[in-house]
């Protein structure tokens, strides 16, 4: 999956990714160009988590993290809400999800 000029490997993992010493349902590693998704969720939840990580990637790529404030709990909730909205838009309109051919 490509975000800006970087192609990220998207992998499903059995153990929760750790970000800032907390277990998460997904993570993005900018240096390794890797997105990890916890695979103990239903497909829709994993897709929504992927949207969340994509939004992190876009914010980093476009250097707009500062517009949203620090990456704190409020920032994460805002990204969760936007990711849920994007996921619903794709599903409700019969569009293909980014990882689908």
First to last CA, the chain: 11
Cβ-contact 27, 35 below 8 angstroms: yes
The fold of 2-92 is Arc Repressor Mutant, subunit A (1.10.10)
Alpha-carbon distance of 58 to 28, in angstroms, equals 11
Domain boundaries, the chain: 2-92
The string of pLDDT tens digits covering residues 1-53 is 999 999 999 999 999 999 889 999 999 999 999 999 999 989 899 999 999 99
Cβ-contact 2, 53 below 8 angstroms: no
Strand 22-23 and strand 9-13: the pairing is unpaired
The string of pLDDT tens digits covering residues 52-99 is 999 999 988 888 866 655 567 777 888 899 999 999 999 999 888 666
Average pLDDT score over the chain: 88
Q: Torsion angle of alpha carbons 70, 56, 19, 24, nearest 10°?
A: 120
């Amino acid at each position: 999956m490509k975000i800006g000029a970087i192609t990220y490997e998207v992998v499903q993992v059995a153990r929760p990714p750790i970000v800032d010493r907390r277990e998460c349902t997904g993570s993005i590693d900018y240096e390794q160009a890797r997105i990890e998704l916890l695979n103990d969720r239903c497909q829709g939840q994993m897709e929504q988590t992927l949207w969340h990580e994509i939004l992190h990637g876009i914010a980093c790529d476009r250097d707009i993290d500062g517009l949203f404030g620090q990456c704190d709990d409020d920032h994460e909730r805002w990204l969760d809400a936007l990711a849920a909205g994007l996921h619903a838009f794709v599903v409700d309109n019969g569009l293909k999800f980014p990882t689908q051919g």
